[in-house]
Amino acid sequence: MSARLEPCVSIDFDSSALDEVVTKTKDWALMHGVCMRSRQNFSPDSINFAPFVLVPSTFPKKEFEKAIELQTLVNEMIYRIANNYEFLKTTLAITNTVDPFTAQLFKIYTTVQEEGVSQAIDLGLIRSDVMLGAEPEMPLSSFKLRQVEVNTIAAGFGWLGPSSGRLHRFVMQELGHGDKLQQLPENNALEALCGGMLKAWEIYNQPQAVILFIVEDITYNICDQRFHEFEIRKQNPNVRVVRRSLTQLGRGGAVLDAERKLIIDGQEVAVVYFRCGYAPDQYPSADGCEWDARLMIERSKAIKCPSISYHLAGTKKVQQVLAEPGFLERIFDNAEKVAKLRDVFTGLYSLDLNEEGDRAAEMAIENPEKYVLKPQREGGGNNVYGKEVAEVLKQLKDNPERASYILMDIIQPPLLRNWMIRPSTQPMLVDTLSELGIFGVIIGNSKEILHNSMGGHMLRTKIHTANEGGVAAGLGALDSPFLVDL
Ligand code: ADP
Ligand code: MG
């Protein structure tokens, strides 16, 4: 039996009451940009509302506050790893031999390290994703934060996260629960993330320079991206945002001048914000022009978000090695910080071809449903679950490619009943589970941190039978936390 949370308000509606609130909330979402482009009926001229759950999800206040408080430490951890070439080199050495994508990224990293970096400052806009976990049969009060991963590239939902909170405020009022709004925490993610980009832009100190967003050929999560652009304009009306794909840049759309300024159509670029470039299929051209663009950006004077070192610091292999006994202690000389971070780590295991890796593989083959098998990929839909964990590990026995995966304890959050609302689909009453993401903003050079702050949150919720909950991928739904004392 899985543990269960109580919905924040009654969700037993008769069909006409349900229809009324759902129809009105869909319109609210459409009219407030809580939307995405449709993959099924794509048109550049239209958007659908993004899937959402009807009422906010009950979430323990204590754990929420812990996650918020922890974020600056998570930021600092990423900063320290990203500035530790030797650590990244050692940690990713085996991965680089079996995973060509990580190896390509690493090659750019090494090239730029050997040449000498042109821009000492890095901007990190990161998101630490956590779930509530406990042993089965344990009481609700024993559920604690468990870290799923830290995203250091293209961490989205700075717009959709806070928007979901506003949507839920509207719903709660519609349902006659306006008195409970103080249990929906404030969320300034968009302001914080765009504020981070503008701080970097100011540090670059060239009033004419633009901020470059690296985007996909087709952006489905368009509202989330565009509202970042609009927010930048709002916070500083003098700053221009331009959007380009890696392919465009690699096909002559950008040049480096003699001083290593990155120039696009005659405009100097101050800050490069990647919303793309984390997956192999985002480098599609046979001639490698997207890789040429990535290298050009990395060599440039522009402030990168992320620079290649932050990108590599967010890999799954790095996450696994950090969880090994003694590793955090090498990075931090402060026992209290180490303890706080370690407290949210989930069990992680190396699958390198050695005794330790063999032991982990055997353990997972015996009890596959207790683990998740993860390749070095980002963006959702790549992990292996359940019986397949054992099948894949058996196939990989004695195969060096096993080292391109890591193994992780599965986190089993408490279930919560809610209405799932999707475009062109009837509302569904389902058991759900949630993943909380906390944003962080960090700016620094190899010697010092210049800015470190928590940057708001987002909550994603999925049907409990789905392995993964990507909203853009169609499995998850927008949500916001409703804080309670358990
Ligand atoms: P990605 O980089 O593809 O986002 P994640 O590590 O975040 O990789 O995994 C994708 C999704 O898989 C998560 O959002 C979560 O829903 C699920 N997941 C990942 N790790 C675990 C875990 N240890 N326990 C339960 N679910 C997990
Ligand atoms: Mg993820």
- pLDDT tens digits for 124-148? 999 999 999 997 778 889 999 999 9
CB of 110 shorter than 6 A to ligand 1: no
Q: What is the mean pLDDT of the chain?
A: 96
CB of 149 shorter than 6 A to ligand 1: yes
| pLDDT value at 162 more than 70 | yes
Asked if 284 and 246 touch (Cβ cutoff 8 Å), the reply is: no
| pLDDT value at 470 more than 80 | no
In single-letter form, the type of residue at position 55 comes to V
CB of 378 shorter than 6 A to ligand 1: yes
Among the atoms of ligand 1, which is closest to the Cα of residue 409?
Answer: 23
| pLDDT value at 474 more than 80 | no
pLDDT tens-place string over residues 259-300: 999 999 999 999 999 999 999 999 999 999 999 999 999 999
Top mutation candidate among 152, 372, 382, 408 for ligand 1, by most atoms within 8 Å of CB: 372
Closest CA to 29 of 438, 421, 417, 418: 421
CB of 146 shorter than 6 A to ligand 1: no
Top mutation candidate among 102, 129, 383 for ligand 1, by most atoms within 8 Å of CB: 383
CA 207 – ligand 2 centroid, Å: 36
Q: How far apart are CA 175 and CA 193, in angstroms?
A: 32
Asked if 454 and 434 touch (Cβ cutoff 8 Å), the reply is: no
**Structure confidence at residue 367 as a pLDDT band (50, 70, 90):** very high
Percent of the chain predicted with pLDDT > 70: 99
Q: In this structure, what token pair is assigned to residue 411?
A: 């986190």
CB of 156 shorter than 6 A to ligand 1: no
CB of 410 shorter than 6 A to ligand 1: yes
CB of 468 shorter than 6 A to ligand 1: yes
pLDDT tens-place string over residues 320-364: 999 999 999 999 999 999 999 999 999 999 999 999 999 999 999
Question: Which residues neighbour 86 within 8 Å (Cβ) at sequence distance 6 or greater?
Answer: none
Report residue 197: phi and psi, to 5°. -65, -40
| Span 451-457, average pLDDT | 98
Asked if 441 and 124 touch (Cβ cutoff 8 Å), the reply is: yes
| pLDDT value at 1 more than 70 | no
Name the helix (H) or strand (E) containing 322: helix 316-322
CA 390 – ligand 1 centroid, Å: 18
Percent of the chain predicted with pLDDT > 90: 94
CA 4 – ligand 2 centroid, Å: 24
- Measured from the alpha carbon of residue 467, the closest ligand is 1
Name the helix (H) or strand (E) containing 467: none
Closest CA to 165 of 51, 61, 57: 57
Closest CA to 441 of 193, 161, 199: 193
CB of 406 shorter than 6 A to ligand 1: no
| Span 194-210, average pLDDT | 98
Q: Hey, which bits of 21-137 come out as E strands? A: 35-36, 48-49, 52-53, 57-60, 122-133
**Structure confidence at residue 119 as a pLDDT band (50, 70, 90):** very high
**Structure confidence at residue 471 as a pLDDT band (50, 70, 90):** confident
pLDDT tens-place string over residues 413-451: 999 999 999 999 999 999 999 999 999 999 999 999 999
Among the atoms of ligand 1, which is closest to the Cα of residue 410?
Answer: 24
Question: Which residues neighbour 70 within 8 Å (Cβ) at sequence distance 6 or greater?
Answer: 128, 145, 340, 341, 344, 438
Q: What is the pLDDT of residue 468?
A: 79
CB of 370 shorter than 6 A to ligand 1: no
CA 468 – ligand 2 centroid, Å: 9
Closest CA to 147 of 341, 389, 312: 341
Q: What is the pLDDT of residue 376?
A: 93
Q: Residue ranges per domain, the chain?
A: 15-410+420-484
CA 383 – ligand 1 centroid, Å: 7
Top mutation candidate among 126, 128, 148 for ligand 1, by most atoms within 8 Å of CB: 148
Q: What is the pLDDT of residue 425?
A: 93
Closest CA to 406 of 290, 320, 302: 320
Closest CA to 55 of 383, 441, 459: 459
Q: 163-200 as b/e, with b when 16 or more CB fall inside 10 Å?
A: bbbbbbbbbbeebebeebeebbbebebbbbbbbbbbbb
Top mutation candidate among 149, 320, 459 for ligand 1, by most atoms within 8 Å of CB: 149
